[in-house]
Amino acid sequence: QKEVEQNSGPLSVPEGAIASLNCTYSDRGSQSFFWYRQYSGKSPELIMFIYSNGDKEDGRFTAQLNKASQYVSLLIRDSQPSDSATYLCAVTGRRALTFGSGTRLQVQP
Amino acid sequence: NAGVMQNPRHLVRRRGQEARLRCSPMKGHSHVYWYRQLPEEGLKFMVYLQKENIIDESGMPKERFSAEFPKEGPSILRIQQVVRGDSAAYFCASSPQGGLYEQYFGPGTRLTVT
């Protein structure tokens, strides 16, 4: 079992729709959870971080955390073509971040 | 520029040569992490350093790879006697504190071994 699992996609949504990205993790001791966006050929860009169970909203982005289910999600409202990228879920491990392999999101104009 | 800086952005080395990758963390950040991303693969942790200390090198290959973060100057990731399999993007990230805090990534160094 991978430590952080994501569906590789591609996840295709029409412009203006809600994109829902999911992530599960194996280490119950993990305490911090992050979503990064990575455009092709570029470096990861931090979008959201969440530490507590529940929802955290920032603009069009909402991160959701359920520690009992070991599940983290990212919702992108009013998706735009510029949101097309790979979204990486990251979880704090013993010392550094453990990344999922990413979900590729395609927003169709 | 307040962001994480890495140089060079692109590096081409022939097999057997040495590669040196440099990273300057964000202002005020004293924790540096190196990650490697192979083509079409995810980010893999390599090493975590603070000034003059290696905190965790559990992700570093045992041979040919080394890292340092001296008291003055940037963090250096050094790869000796490079092989084709070392071709990848190497990213540096920095954090104001270790452990649970968010990390900010630099633009990366793309190493090509010919």
Say if B101 is an interface residue toward chain A (CB within 8 Å): yes
pLDDT for the residue B105: 96
> A97 — contact with chain B (CB < 8 Å)?
yes
3-state secondary structure of B84: helix
Cα A11 from Cα A21, distance rounded (Å): 8
Q: What pLDDT score was predicted for residue A94?
A: 66
From the number of C-beta atoms within 10 Å of its C-beta (0-12, 13-18, 19+), residue A70 rates as middle
pLDDT attached to residue B97: 81
What mean pLDDT is predicted for residues B108-112? 97
E strand segments, A1-102: 4-5, 11-14, 19-25, 33-38, 45-50, 54-58, 61-66, 71-76, 85-92, 97-99
Choose from B5, B102, B104, B112 for mutation: most chain A CBs within 10 A.
B102
Whole-angstrom Cα distance, residue A37 to residue B64? 31
What is the structure's pLDDT at B48?
94
Residue of A nearest to B108 (CA): A43
Mean pLDDT of B15-29: 96
Which pLDDT does position B39 carry in this prediction? 80
Residue A82 in 3-state DSSP?
Answer: helix
Per-residue pLDDT tens over the stretch B9-19 = 999 999 999 99
Choose between B39 and A1: higher pLDDT.
B39
CB A102 within 8 A of CB A87: yes
* pLDDT tens digits along B42-71: 899 999 999 999 999 999 999 999 999 999
Q: Which residues from chain A sit within 8 angstroms of residue B93, using beta carbons?
A: 97
In this complex, the residue of B56, B100, B105 whose CB is nearest that of residue A44 is B105
> Does B59 reach chain A within 8 Å, measured CB to CB?
yes
Q: What is the pLDDT at residue B99?
A: 67
Say yes or no to pLDDT of B1 above 60: no
Contact B103 A92 (CB under 8 A): no
Q: Mean per-residue pLDDT for B69-83?
A: 96
Of B42, B56, B103, the CB nearest to A100: B42
A31 contacts chain B (CB < 8 A):
yes
SS3 A81: helix
Q: Which residues, including other chains, have CB under 8 Å from residue A37's CB and lie 6 or more apart? A: A44, A45, A47, A83, A85, A86, A87, A88
> Contact A88/B45, CB-based, under 8 Å?
no
pLDDT of residue A66: 96
Contact B42 A94 (CB under 8 A): no
Q: Name the minimum distance, in Å, from the CA of B19 to any CA of chain A.
A: 20
Average pLDDT by consecutive 10-residue portion of chain A (109 residues)? 87 97 93 95 95 95 96 98 97 83 96
